[in-house]
Every structure is written in C-alpha cells, then in structure tokens.
Amino acid sequence: MRKPIIAGNWKLNKTPHEAIGLINELKRELVDVEGVDMVVCPPFTALADAADALTESNIALGAQNIFWEDAGAFTGEVSGPMLKDLGVAYVIIGHSERRQFFHETNETVNKRLRAALKHGLTPIVCVGENLAQREANKTFDIIKDHAEGSLSGLSAEDMKKVVLAYEPVWAIGTGKTATPAQAQEVHAFIRQLLIKIFNASVAESVRIQYGGSVTPENIAALIGQPDIDGALVGGASLKAPSFAAIVKAAQKLEIS
C-alpha cells in the first residue's frame, strides 16, 4: 500500500507573513492527521518563516524549484544546500508552468532532479499534456516523452525516492478536472512505463499524484482510483479549510 501524499503548490502566492498565518491555521486543522504525507510548497521568500512555523508539526516543507549547481555565479538561482539548510524536504520539479513560461525542458528537469536527490530532497516531478496534445490524441506520447526524458539515467534505487505528479495542463487552474477515469488511465500508463524503464518493484512503490483543479469535492473520487496516490493542489491549497478537507478525504480513504 502506497502512503497517500497531498502537496500544496502555492505558486506565486503568499508573503512570509501570510505564509505564517496559513501554516498556523493548517497546523490547527491537521494536527491529528496520520497516514497521509502532507507538504506545503511556499515561494522561496517564505521558506524560512514557513520552516519556523512548521517546527515539530506533521506537515513537511517543499520548495517549487531547485537549481542544479550547488553554488557559483548563477544570479537569481537557489540551490540544494540552501534549501536543505532551511529544513526543506521536498521540491517540485518540471511543473508545466515552468515548462511553459520559463523554458524548462526534460533535460533541465533531469538536472534539477539529480541535484534534489544528491541533497536528500524528495523530488515531485511533474508530467502532463496540454489541451492541443490531448485533442490530437498525443497524451500518451507526451507522457512517455516527459517521463523518459525527465527520469533519464536514474537508478531504480533513486527512482524509488521520487514522487511523480500527473498534471494535465488543461486542468490546471481552469476548474476543469480530468475525470477519475481519464486520470486513472494515464496513471496506469505511467506505472507501465515505470516497469519498462525501471522494474516492477519501482512501479509498485512510486507514488503518482494527480494535479489539476483538485478540490474537496472531487478528491475522493480521484484518490479512490487504484493508481492515484495523492494530489498536487494549487488553488485549493491557498486556504486552510479546503486544503485540510482534501487531506482528510485522503486520510479517510487510507483508514477505510
């Protein structure tokens, strides 16, 4: 049984003060939760305060990106040792917004992924097709390309430390969720790919989150699918009640 993992991707939202406020609310709402990995991913500027606010809580801290070099003349970048030193445990890599707006490619995703693993951070690697690609029946080709390219050269042992997120770009921030069946179909395809690229034991153990307009209303049906192991939540992670409700729905499933 794979442990569910619910991560909040705050994107470009929340000042440090706002982050502390949201985390304090989340801590109150989620103090009794067990059996679900919970992660919040504030912007870089709020990570230090978020780490303080999360001290001794059951919620882990994640970043939204990582650069592949540890230090040097790379203006504007943030490295693994810097994140690690703050108490960051997870890092989102290759989000579609990074691929779309910041020229992220499978190659740069792969470099960031290796840097995260090198520094003991758990990577959350995102893959997903856009609307045009889905309509052209290219979904599986795109997923295969993203997975093979992003995960290239990883050992089976390293792959077991990675979390994947399937995020259909057309469902992100649009209110248009993939149906549980649509999501399950792609998740099952990803698991088959993991068997081919790595082996059956990797495929069995890697957690695959779904992301794209996840809400307290639709989470139960999504996470009820056999290959959906959690969610990467954007909009609904910015308010404590909705994020907590999503986590609790995942927990209910875990207990039942």
Positions that interact with ligand PGA (CB under 6 A) = 9, 167, 172-173, 211-214, 232-236
Number of H helices, E strands in the chain: 12, 8
Of 105, 13, 94, 3, which is closest to residue 50 (Cα–Cα)? 13
- Catalytic residue chosen out of the listed positions 97, 104, 129, 167: 167
- The smaller minimum CB distance to ligand PGA, of residues 4 and 234, is found at 234
Q: Measured from the CB of residue 100, what is the shortest distance to ligand PGA in angstroms?
A: 11
- The smaller minimum CB distance to ligand PGA, of residues 123 and 235, is found at 235
Q: Measured from the CB of residue 127, what is the shortest distance to ligand PGA in angstroms?
A: 12
Of 152, 216, 228, which is closest to residue 185 (Cα–Cα)? 228
The residue whose two tokens read 């921030």 is 173
Helices 16-30, 240-255: axis angle to 10 degrees equals 30
Strand partners, 38: 6, 59
Q: Measured from the CB of residue 210, what is the shortest distance to ligand PGA in angstroms?
A: 10
The residue whose two tokens read 């390219």 is 149
- The smaller minimum CB distance to ligand PGA, of residues 116 and 202, is found at 116
How far from 208 is each of 46, 120, 124, CA to CA, in Å?
27, 19, 9
Strand partners, 39: 7, 60
- Catalytic residue chosen out of the listed positions 77, 95, 129, 146: 95
Please provide residue 44's backbone torsions phi and psi, each rounded to the nearest 5 degrees.
-50, -40
Does the annotation count 167 as an active-site position? yes
Of 101, 86, 109, which is closest to residue 12 (Cα–Cα)? 101
Q: Measured from the CB of residue 246, what is the shortest distance to ligand PGA in angstroms?
A: 10
Q: Measured from the CB of residue 214, what is the shortest distance to ligand PGA in angstroms?
A: 5
8 Å CB contact between 232 and 124: yes
- The smaller minimum CB distance to ligand PGA, of residues 186 and 203, is found at 186
Question: If DSSP codes are grouped into helix, strand and coil, which group holds residue 229?
Answer: coil
Residue least distant from ligand PGA (Cβ): 234
Strand partners, 122: 90
- The smaller minimum CB distance to ligand PGA, of residues 183 and 203, is found at 183
Does the annotation count 187 as an active-site position? no
Per DSSP bridges, beta strands 163-166 and 90-93 are: unpaired
Q: Which residues are catalytic?
A: 95, 167
